[in-house]
Structure 1
């Protein structure tokens, strides 16, 4: 029997600016390092084959970088034309080398993500399987926690109301932002939320890289009383040694990794013992292909997994992880898709639709710009 191969006939790209309903602030804003976030910029890719199969993927940027992602993706997209869409690993490297003068992390890698995710979506759709099943699912639903209701721009009363609404929707845990210049204000905030939720609801805090090592150590010990599921990004994202020392000194698990933009950066983090929960972001590390490398190493080290943002992709990846996994609930991207992910009993359900199980994401020809 002759081997038949399909070929990529078209690659369509789209640049989308998605405004948020209100500006949001985390500790990076309160410490003067960034301005409030008002929108998310996204690059969507739709890959179409000669046999009529399609795959949809996306990458994103917050604050600066969106037009740069789109420009780099648009330059490298023609490299996919005529290729076999099944050869995802080889195509990822081809795209990497096409933009190698820009480096092997950061924007050059993030621009590959939309294509790589689209190729995995296409492969699963062609197989008639949800992506989690194609990868090899370990569960049909993943514990999930909400972040969007706990930003520092929201007063504590609103944070408590948001937490109630999230739990009523079927979300299982609540994460709030900390890292303010006044740690006493952080303490009051955490105490109020813990008392409101009770001891049985998972509670996480996220400092968004705003503490130095001494502050993280001292305040981390103070936070032990609240039985947190984890403390997220207590230190600079690239301080693997500091995170490792902190993780070794606290009973509360340490989570980090969302800001890293390559599998190699995650390897250094994991090898250093810097995290109990690893938090890779598929669009930031270049797609699902490098994300799977991070997953394999985290599994080898018996670490827990809590991917950052982009629940539309990460639900499938967390479902395919052998160890403990959480998925982060952000409703921000929901307006871009026709479907909604379902929640029940504190978990997010893997859809039974093929691929990512989502359609939408406006796309247009390569000649159009942002």
Structure 2
């Protein structure tokens, strides 16, 4: 008896018809300083460079994605994205892994990590957004959500430029909003100031409220040993980036020696770089950043490796994206609550009882705000809209 094969639906035959990439500079209300500023390695941050990718198919399906750069690099990301964008035209938007590889090899001579793949990240996120919208599912549901909300902690109120009295007010504001944890920046040249600030905030919050610290790579190995030993008594959720972001051996030694978990990974820009930390047990909490590693496609590879190794997860920054990805991780993760990107979008994430609610709108559930146009420095289109 002959078997009748199903007729492919329009999704199977749809193709990418139009792509727009935009370079947007988001101004920050106040200059931001962490330990890298106090050690003279960087200047205070006054804006964030956002790379947006908008994709539309022949059948009218749309996707929105973004990548970003803090301080230098935004124009470079845009230039690379503009150059490789034509490679998407005519391709099936469902072939996300294939398209990632195509775009990666198009610019492989300048590297398969860093700026080159961060440019790809905007397209990759847009393709996943499009796929979820076409399925009428949130991105979290498309990936296979484990939960409807994720633990969240606030960082934006705990930077080193913030005076101690304001720091305490900021922690109160965060708790009143329902945020479930507080992270403080450390790594000052005068270590006694770090000890004083963290000790004061621990007393202010109480012994059991989730508290994290972040040294932003500014300690050497002996200093990290001393500071981790001191902070061991403060019941911290983690100590983040105590050493240079590529020092897998040093982080592994700290993770093995101290009960307080060690967290790192936000500055790593490829699956290979994360694997070095995973296989060496260099972190208790791995902190991948989807835009920095090249989008959702490589992020999922990092998450799978982390799950296999039994690591906890706390994706870095970009909560509007990472709340979906964290919702799909088997072990309860943390998401970093940053208000900085909120002016870019019309939607807001909801917080309740220490947790960030996962949006139920299709895709990422994001649309660009009217303010984005005024902050757009460059924009280029390729192909034709349906």
Q: Which bin holds the TM-score, normalised by the shorter protein?
A: over 0.9
Contact kept, 8 Å, 2:147 with 2:328, in 1: the verdict is yes
Query: Which of 1-10 and 257-266 deviates more?
Result: 1-10
Distance 2:260 2:178 in 1: 25
Distance 1:169 1:81 in 2: 44
- Are 2:40 and 1:32 equivalent residues in the alignment? yes
Contact kept, 8 Å, 2:271 with 2:299, in 1: the verdict is yes
Distance 2:310 2:264 in 1: 16
Could you tell me how far 1:113 is from its partner in structure 2? Answer: 0.5
Query: What is the match of residue 233 of structure 1?
Result: 241
Q: Which of 223, 226, 229 is matched with 1:218 structurally?
A: 226
Q: Which of 12, 15, 28 is matched with 1:20 structurally?
A: 28
Task: Kindly tell me the number of residue pairs found equivalent between the two proteins.
Answer: 367
Distance 1:324 1:226 in 2: 22
Query: What is the match of residue 209 of structure 1?
Result: 217
Could you tell me how far 1:187 is from its partner in structure 2? Answer: 0.2
Structure of greater Rg: 2
Query: What is the match of residue 90 of structure 1?
Result: 98
Distance 2:176 2:138 in 1: 27
Query: What is the match of residue 11 of structure 1?
Result: 19
- Are 2:135 and 1:135 equivalent residues in the alignment? no
Query: What is the match of residue 179 of structure 2?
Result: 171
Where does structure 1 differ by over 2 angstroms across 4 or more consecutive aligned residues? Answer: 361-367
Query: What is the match of residue 254 of structure 2?
Result: 246
Could you tell me how far 1:219 is from its partner in structure 2? Answer: 1.1
Q: Which of 159, 164, 167 is matched with 1:156 structurally?
A: 164
Distance 1:49 1:170 in 2: 40
DSSP-derived class of the 2:99 partner: helix
- Are 2:120 and 1:112 equivalent residues in the alignment? yes
Query: What is the match of residue 381 of structure 2?
Result: 366
Distance 2:178 2:360 in 1: 19
Query: What is the match of residue 72 of structure 2?
Result: 64
**Any unmatched runs of 5+ in structure 2?**
1-5, 374-378
Query: What is the match of residue 2 of structure 1?
Result: 7
Deviations 1:44-86 (A, max 9, x none): 0111011111010000001100000000000000000010000
Distance 1:270 1:365 in 2: 39
Could you tell me how far 1:324 is from its partner in structure 2? Answer: 2.5
TM-score scaled by length of structure 2:
0.94
Deviations 1:160-197 (A, max 9, x none): 11111111111100000000111111000100110111
Distance 2:363 2:341 in 1: 18
TM-score scaled by length of structure 1:
0.98
Query: What is the match of residue 57 of structure 2?
Result: 49
Query: Which of 355-364 and 279-288 deviates more?
Result: 355-364
DSSP-derived class of the 1:366 partner: strand
